[in-house]
């Protein structure tokens, strides 16, 4: 095969001065204009001929896009243009939300992470998005600027299908926000790729757990699965099993089985549906066990 | 199609360049400025052959628009040597016999330089992690990894007080 031509199809680059201007332009040119940040998905889609937008609207420089801010009462806000390498080295992320750094680190390579962003990963709405599971278990929400002003979109209801989200014409996501996580929590992201590092996920499992005196088991877990359904999936029955029954190896295995049953993967070049289901069960057992070992040691 | 006038500093030289909206940094370097050391491999951010330093950080230049580089400082493989003196990472790769066909080497050098700039004493894992986005289809990775270690040792020796 010939080396791919490095060029993108023709478009006009637009750099609006304000969020209002950005939303207005995107709304006026719905269907032919697209907001972009790092471009790591956008450029590939355009180069491959899937997206044919006449305008690319750069929103990186707009208000609040470039900051990571932690507020001890409100939580963590990561601007839409903050790249993954910055998230990984942020002391606030490392100290209080380390699973975000862990998930970001599994994305592609350092040079690509110089461009890639969490908000871009979310808005691309790929079921394989590596950072989305961590954002879901941390109860993330998006700050969205639209033609009618600012609003909040919780991630739990944001995804509608592969590449489909609740974003409407004129919307620009300015940041992703995370509340203060539960006291004493632990969270992990386990990713299965064809290589140890750098590949897309065949399966990704995220688990967050903490002590909770209000549940029969004394614990509560939040779980998320990547690459095994049309949208990033929260296996709620598995979560319920872990809060309802005393946590033993058997309970964890039962929850892992429930997670496997919740997913509806496809066969593709990275793995078969059957393989993915079995890996969900095995990785879920592993990740919940790891998290439980840490939180059960705390008194 | 709109054009944009940008000011960009490449390997220490500041230039004013007219670029169309859809031109990538990679295209501008190779096709407009004849800096063909930077290679076009996959044009999709996967192979790392086009890696350059963008304000000190390594980036796939096929994943950056030229117009986004207004005011930026870019270092390409042509800018690694100074005063007729190769960068220690260049010397180490030559000494290790790390170059086979050579296509991946410009990007590999940039990623390795960036790693040593942010971490002068990287572990084996940290070297592999930093180079994971630079594919070598001659599969000559081991000598390249050895070369990064050697360059780190030389860097430490130079930094140590006499």
**pLDDT 10s digits, A249-265:** 999 999 999 999 999 99
Q: Is the pLDDT of residue A149 over 90?
A: yes
Residue among A75, A70, A80 at smallest CA distance from A19: A80
Furthest-apart CA atoms within chain A: distance in Å: 62
pTM: 0.96
Q: Tell me, what's the pLDDT at A1? A: 44
Domain(s) labelled CATH 1.10.150.120 in chain B stretch across: 88-159
Q: Tell me, what's the pLDDT at B161? A: 60
Which residues 6+ apart lie within 8 Å of B137 measured at CB?
B101, B103, B104
Strands (DSSP E) contained in A95-185 are 141-146, 149-154, 159-161, 164-165, 172-178
Element (H, E) at A49: none
Q: Mean per-residue pLDDT for A166-178?
A: 98
| Pair A32, A51: CB distance under 8 Å | no
Q: What SS3 state is found at A35?
A: strand
State how far the Cα of B65 lies from the Cα of B35, in Å rounded to an integer. 16
Domain range B88-159, CATH class: mainly alpha
Q: Mean per-residue pLDDT for A40-50?
A: 94
With cut-offs at 50, 70 and 90, classify the pLDDT of residue A76: very high
Q: Is the pLDDT of residue B42 over 70?
A: yes
Q: Which residue has the tokens 């993915």?
A: A276
| Topology classification of domain B3-79 | Ubiquitin-like (UB roll) (3.10.20)
Q: Mean per-residue pLDDT for A126-135?
A: 96
With cut-offs at 50, 70 and 90, classify the pLDDT of residue A298: confident
Q: Mean per-residue pLDDT for B81-97?
A: 95
Residue B41's closest chain A neighbor by CA?
A3
Q: Using CB atoms, pick whichever of B26, B42, B58 lies closest to residue A111.
A: B58
Q: Mean per-residue pLDDT for B122-136?
A: 96
Q: Using CB atoms, pick whichever of A6, A40, A108 lies closest to residue B26.
A: A6
Q: Is the pLDDT of residue A107 over 50?
A: yes
Q: Is the pLDDT of residue B1 over 80?
A: no
Structure tokens at A85: 């390498």
Nearest Cα of chain A lies from the Cα of B70 at a distance, in angstroms, of 12
Q: Given an 8 Å threshold on Cβ–Cβ distance, is A12 in contact with B62?
A: no
Q: Tell me, what's the pLDDT at B156? A: 76
Q: Using CB atoms, pick whichever of A12, A58, A112 lies closest to residue B1.
A: A12
Q: What is the DSSP string of B74-119?
A: EE-GGGS-BTTB--HHHHHHHHTT--SS-TTHHHHHHHHHHHHHH-
Domains within chain A, CATH numbers bracketed: 12-58 (3.30.43.10), 68-178 (3.30.465.10), 186-297 (3.30.390.50)
Q: Tell me, what's the pLDDT at B52? A: 98
Residue B39's closest chain A neighbor by CA?
A6
Strand partners, B109: none
* B115-to-A31, A195, B17, B111 alpha-carbon distances in Å: 41, 21, 30, 6
Q: Tell me, what's the pLDDT at A3? A: 55
Q: Mean per-residue pLDDT for A111-120?
A: 98
Q: Tell me, what's the pLDDT at B162? A: 52
Q: Tell me, what's the pLDDT at A36? A: 97
With cut-offs at 50, 70 and 90, classify the pLDDT of residue A4: low
State how far the Cα of A282 lies from the Cα of B135, in Å rounded to an integer. 31
What is the pLDDT of chain B when averaged over all its residues? 95
Strand partners, A224: A206
Structure tokens at A266: 């496809």
Q: What SS3 state is found at B61?
A: helix
In chain A, residues with a C-beta closer than 8 Å to the C-beta of B54 are 114
| Pair B37, A88: CB distance under 8 Å | no
| Pair B152, B116: CB distance under 8 Å | yes
Residue among A228, A140, A222, A226 at smallest CA distance from A190: A226
User: Radius of gyration of chain B from Cα atoms?
Assistant: 16
Element (H, E) at B3: strand B3-10
Q: Does B24 touch chain A (CB under 8 A)?
A: yes
Q: Mean per-residue pLDDT for A273-288?
A: 97
Q: Does B139 touch chain A (CB under 8 A)?
A: no
Structure tokens at A277: 């289901």
Give the ipTM.
Answer: 0.95
Domain(s) labelled CATH 3.10.20.30 in chain B stretch across: 3-79
Structure tokens at A27: 């709304």
State how far the Cα of A109 lies from the Cα of A112, in Å rounded to an integer. 5
In chain A, residues with a C-beta closer than 8 Å to the C-beta of B41 are 3
User: What share of chain A has pLDDT > 70, as a percent?
Assistant: 98
């Amino acid at each position: 095969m010939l080396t791919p031509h490095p060029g993108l199809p023709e478009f006009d680059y637009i750099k609006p001065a304000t969020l209002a201007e950005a939303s207005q332009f995107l709304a006026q040119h719905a269907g032919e204009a697209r907001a972009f940040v790092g471009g790591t998905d956008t450029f590939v889609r355009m180069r491959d001929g899937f997206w044919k937008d006449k305008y690319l609207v750069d929103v990186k420089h707009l208000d609040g896009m470039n900051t990571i801010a932690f507020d001890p009462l409100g939580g963590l806000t990561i601007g839409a243009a903050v790249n993954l390498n910055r998230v990984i080295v942020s002391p606030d992320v490392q100290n209080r939300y380390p699973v975000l750094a862990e998930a970001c680190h599994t994305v592609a390579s350092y040079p690509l992470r110089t461009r890639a962003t969490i908000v871009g990963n979310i808005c691309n709405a790929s079921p394989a998005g590596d950072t989305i599971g961590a954002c879901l278990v941390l109860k993330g929400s998006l700050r969205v600027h639209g033609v009618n002003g600012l609003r909040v979109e919780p991630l739990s209801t944001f995804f509608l299908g592969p590449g489909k989200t609740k974003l409407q014409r004129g919307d620009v996501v300015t940041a992703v926000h995370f509340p203060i996580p539960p006291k004493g929590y632990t969270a992990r992201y386990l990713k299965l790729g064809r290589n140890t590092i750098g590949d897309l996920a065949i399966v990704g499992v995220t688990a967050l757990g903490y002590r909770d005196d209000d549940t029969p088991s004394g614990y509560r877990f939040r779980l998320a699965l990547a690459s095994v359904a049309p949208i990033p999936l929260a296996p709620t029955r598995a979560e319920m099993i872990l809060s309802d029954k005393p946590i033993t190896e058997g309970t964890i295995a039962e929850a892992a089985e429930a997670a496997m049953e919740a997913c509806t993967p496809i066969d593709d070049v990275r793995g078969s549906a059957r393989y993915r289901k079995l890996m969900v069960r095995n990785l879920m057992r592993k990740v919940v066990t790891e998290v439980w070992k840490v939180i059960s040691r705390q008194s | 199609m709109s054009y944009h006038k940008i000011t960009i500093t490449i390997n220490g030289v500041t230039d004013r360049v007219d670029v169309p909206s859809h031109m990538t940094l990679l295209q501008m370097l190779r096709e407009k400025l004849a800096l063909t050391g930077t290679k076009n491999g996959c044009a999709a951010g996967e192979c790392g052959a086009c890696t350059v330093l963008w304000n000190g950080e390594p980036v796939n230049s096929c994943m950056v628009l030229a117009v986004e580089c207004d005011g930026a400082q870019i270092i390409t493989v042509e800018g690694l040597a100074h005063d007729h003196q190769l960068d220690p990472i260049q010397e180490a790769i030559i000494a290790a016999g790390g170059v086979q066909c050579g296509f991946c080497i410009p990007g590999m050098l940039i990623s390795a330089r960036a790693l040593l700039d942010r971490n002068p004493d990287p572990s084996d894992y940290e070297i592999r992690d930093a180079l994971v986005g630079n594919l070598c289809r001659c599969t000559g990775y081991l000598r390249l990894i050895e070369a990064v270690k050697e360059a780190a040792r030389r860097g430490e020796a130079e930094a140590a007080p006499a």
